Amino acid sequence: MRPEVAAERRARNAEAHRTIAERWAKQAREDWDASPMTAARLASEIWEAIRGEDYVLTAATLEDWALRLWDMERPDRHPGRSFGTATQIGTSLGVGLAYRGTGKLVVDVQPDGDLLFDAAALWTAAHHRIPMLVVMYNNRAYYNDWEHQIRIAEHRGTPVENAYIGMDLMDPDPDFAMLARSFGWYAEGPITDPNAVRPALERALREVKAGRPALLDTIVRKREGKRYR
């Protein structure tokens, strides 16, 4: 390839990347002060708190907003999504163990339903001194299955408003911060005010850097069934 052709392609790709990044940044500001907060707001707050850290993102990507807004300049920044409920918190725990003592910051964006399947893993992390930052992606539901229920109801012509049955995690709301503290973690929450997230992240990061696992129970609004449309 001629040098001038390569240079032209690089310039065109750079401009396309800049345009997309600007569009994502603008979209991320939509409903910025909503409570429960949007996934984009939570992704933005986490990024501002860990910017400059040698981080690894595990488990969820906050509806891909972490992939859009964070600097993912190396392949080892994210080992991949934890699809389905079989992985629970296990993948993140394994990554945390693998990087223990390396100085890397392991950030687990942890769905609430998945953690309920294996809450005892919190004890394992505390017992074996696995420093990791868990930020809950807590929409108070087994929402992956809830969306399936919505889709099936629409296909069969049954009441969509019944899709929540057996899927919501409310009344009572699981207290993940209390649960984590009972296993020896530093924990805060539930956090419903998006403006309270950054200070909480800064406090949690200090604990992680001191060698203690930390969990923030952040409440995020549901996707409203858009995933399968």
Average pLDDT of the chain is 87
Residue 33 confidence (pLDDT) above 60: yes
Q: What would the mean pLDDT of 48-68 be, rounded to a whole number?
A: 94
Residue 155 confidence (pLDDT) above 90: no
**For position 165, what pLDDT does the model report?**
60
Bridge-based pairing state of the strands 214-218 and 105-111: unpaired
Which of 194, 220, 189, 219 minimizes the C-alpha distance to 204?
Answer: 189
Burial class (CB in 10 A: 0-12, 13-18, 19+), 228: exposed
Please tell me whether the peptide bond between 194 and the residue prior to it is cis, using omega within 30 degrees of 0: no
**For position 85, what pLDDT does the model report?**
54
Q: Which residues contact 11 (CB under 8 A, 6 or more apart)?
A: none
Q: How far apart are CA 183 and CA 199, in angstroms?
A: 23
Q: How far apart are CA 217 and CA 219, in angstroms?
A: 7
pTM value > 0.85? yes
In this prediction, residue 47 has a pLDDT band, given cuts at 50, 70 and 90, of very high
DSSP 174: P
- What does the pLDDT look like over 110-122, one tens digit per residue? 999 889 888 999 9
Q: Which two tokens stand for residue 182?
A: 């009972």
**For position 46, what pLDDT does the model report?**
98
Beta bridge partners of 168: 141
